[in-house]
Structure 1
Amino acid sequence: MPDLRFPSIDGLRAFEAAARLGTFEKAAEELAVTASAVGKRIVAVEELLGTPLFQRGPRLTLTPAGKEYLTHVRAALGLLAAAPQHRRGARRVQRLRVSTPPTFARHILVPELPAFTQAHPAVELEVVLSIPFLDAAGAEADVQVQVRHGDAAAVGGTVLMPDVVLPMAAPSLLSRLPPLRTPTDLARAPLLRTPLEPWAPWFEAAGLPWAEPDQGPRLLDLGLTLEAALGGQGVALARPSLARTWLENGTLVPLFDVQATPAHQYHVLPHATGGAAAAFAQWLQRSCERIARDALEQLAARRAG
């Protein structure tokens, strides 16, 4: 529409402030400009509209046209003010995208997040889920947590926590099985399978010359494996750090004292050397080390009791 003309935002703000506060001087104080500047901005709006908006005097009085126009101006400014991009505070927020496997997110990261957000109120976290087995990480993440095989220095990143694995089962399963007193008794128990937690490291630690289990469902997620164990479907090779809540309330029971280092560890991948990404990675590593340590102490206390 070639004949459509708009006043400046500064002019509209000056008009609304002067109408609300009653004088150019008060409007100028609120807008951090001079009273002369407020007057000039309002005059520019009046010239554009072709009609006066105020009756000048010791206190400004809106003309009938001014009253009608003020309704539209306030609605327009309200819509603009509602856009978060226009708020100065929003521009100071640093957004940080974190990519993490689902089980780690649910059982490690999310319960710990209040501590990070309280310490870093200017960082807005966005947590996205990755799929470890398919190696599908969250796109363009600032910090990535992945389950990786091998030495941290060789594959990149930093190990987050010194995890161990050991067999765990639900009491409902144990009540249906012959007593599991020694590791060899697992030959009579259904073993849950997942490529993310192979049994080979634990079999070796227990002195069992066994191959990987080849029967039963193959679950491609550590959380699903724990859920299957909770449902009494089989014995899971699990990490105390992920299962600590269920170990504490007795819905999962550790079967033997034998522990092993898992084939895969949680790594935090390379991130920026400074800023929110580095602060988050350092905080996450400290939190994970504490969680793993507390989980092992919980196991030790359980055995001692």
Structure 2
Amino acid sequence: MDLDQIRTFDRIAQDLSFTKAAAKLNVTQATVSMRMRALEDLLGVPLFHRGRNIALTDQGMTFLPYARRILQAAQEAKEALRRVERGRVSIGSLRSLVSPLVTESLLRFQQKYPSVDVVIHEGRQSQIAAMLRERDIELGILCWPNLDPLITDLVPLLVLRERVPMVTTPQIAAELGLEPKIEDVLRRVPRLISINWWQVYPDAALALFRRAPVSVELPTGPARRIAIRGEGVGFFVYSAVADDIAAGRLTEITPIDVDPVHRDIAMVVRNAAVLDREMLRDFATEIAEECRKNGTILETTLLPPTAANAA
């Protein structure tokens, strides 16, 4: 079985004509017939009813979706090889960090490497760890330290500490005053928003959830909208709400009886040798620049001196 046979079978199935298939494939009708006989002999079943009208047999109808999957897979493989020739960088990031860390980095990177393909995956911690484990991505941005027992050999290029402030609307913040207690906050906004920012919840957040009259666990987008409407209060990583704070839609509050909360994340690789690829090293350097704007860098290793100095 070869791709020419599969491609010819698919063409005949579309046109229900050996003659039309031959014309569109730019081969003779004899070649089309020969390919179909060879494919049917290999499969051991007839694929077409032949006669005045051509029709797929039951076996042909069953085989058709598999044939098209083969053609699609071959095309995807061909495109993947073309991308390798041009150059390709693959990165996986926590969803909450794609916009603040990757977007601007990508634009600057592609100014320098306009023909290089870039693939950005997003997901939860376990999904990014699995992509690194399966080597679907070369570089990952995830919570640190990584607690996934199936991948223990990650090399951190940079460790970033993000603030995770509690936020609500400016109006509610004004009502609460400068030094509210958490009971005052929960009395005014009883719905506590829970977002899965961490691998393990900080003690301060867990204690708060136990005290809240009701909590809801939501993705970032709906959680922000509820907070902006004044219908909920919660801890948000600063990068997720920075624009809302700047625009006056949300404001930070600091209950005097709740310890500050933060989250550590890292930019990691499976093997430091991947940084021998100049393009990947440059992309990591661009991301490091965005990290500097979005938190406190605790550690920088293996990146070019300019990135480390900027941090």
* TM-score bracket for this pair, using the shorter chain length: 0.5 to 0.7
d(CA) in 2 for partners of 1:199, 1:212: 12
Following superposition, the deviation at residue 90 of structure 1 comes to 6.6
* Partner residue in 2 for 1:260: 260
* More displaced stretch, 247-256 vs 194-203: 194-203
Aligned length, in residue pairs? 206
- RMSD over aligned Cα, in angstroms? 4.1
- Give the equivalent residue in structure 2 for 1:274: 276
Question: Quick check: 1:131 aligned with 2:124?
Answer: yes
Does the aligned pair in 1 maintain the 2:138–2:269 contact within 8 Å? no
Q: What is the CA–CA distance in structure 2 between the aligned matches of 1:186 and 1:196, rounded to whole Å?
A: 21
1:299 aligns with none
Deviations 1:239-263 (A, max 9, x none): 223322111111110112877352x
Query: Among 292, 295, 306, which residue is 1:292 paired with?
Result: 295
1:77-104 superposed Cα distances (whole Å, 9 cap, x missing partner): xxxxxxxx79xx9765211111112221
Secondary structure of 1:281's partner? helix
Match of 1:118 among 103, 111, 114: 111
**Structure 1 counterpart of 2:139, one-letter code:** V
Structure 2 residue aligned with 1:237:
235
Q: Identify the residue that residue 102 of structure 1 maps to in structure 2.
A: 95
- Mapped to 2, the partners of 1:261 and 1:126 lie a distance apart of 32
The amino acid across from 1:266 in the alignment is I
What is aligned with 2:216?
A: 217
Q: How many Å apart are 1:156 and its aligned residue?
A: 3.5
Structure possessing the higher relative contact order (Cα contacts under 8 Å, 6 or more residues apart): 2
Question: How far is the alpha carbon of 1:106 from its aligned partner?
Answer: 2.7
* Residues 1-305 of structure 1 mapped to structure 2, 5 A cutoff: 92-132=85-125, 137-138=130-131, 140-149=136-145, 156-158=154-156, 159-171=158-170, 173-174=172-173, 179=177, 181-184=179-182, 185-188=184-187, 189-190=189-190, 191-197=192-198, 200-202=202-204, 212=210, 215-219=214-218, 221-256=219-254, 260-262=260-262, 264-271=263-270, 272-275=274-277, 276-292=279-295
Please tell me whether Structure 1 or Structure 2 has the larger radius of gyration of its CA atoms. 1
Given residue 291 of structure 1, which amino acid in structure 2 is its aligned partner? Answer: N
Q: SS at the partner of 2:162?
A: coil
Change beyond 3 A, Cα 1:227–1:97: farther
- Does the 8 Å contact 2:101/2:287 carry over to 1? no
User: For residues 96-140 of structure 1, what are the alpha-carbon distances to aligned partners after superposition, in whole Å with 9 as ceiling and x for unaligned?
Assistant: 111112221133322442112113334321112223366675461
State the AA in 2 paired with 1:104: L
Residue deviations 1:195-237, cap 9 Å, x none?
Answer: 4257745569xxxx75645622122x44543343223231121
CA distance in 2, matches of 1:253, 1:267: 27
TM-score by length of 1: 0.53
Offset at residue 291 of structure 1 (A): 2.9
Q: Deviations over 1:21-60 (max 9, x none)?
A: xxxxxxxxxxxxxxxxxxxxxxxxxxxxxxxxxxxxxxxx
- Secondary structure at the residue paired with 1:182? coil
Q: 1:141 corresponds to which letter in structure 2?
A: I
User: Is 1:226–1:236's contact at 8 Å kept on the other side of the alignment?
Assistant: no
Partner of 1:76: none
Distance change in 2, residues 1:261/1:144 (3 Å) = same
The TM-score with structure 2 as length reference comes to 0.52
Which secondary structure does the structure 2 equivalent of 1:269 belong to?
A: strand
- Percent of pairs with identical residues: 13
Q: Which protein has the bigger strand share? A: 2
Query: Does the C-alpha gap of structure 1 residues 114 and 199 become closer, same or farther in structure 2, counting only changes over 3 Å?
Result: same
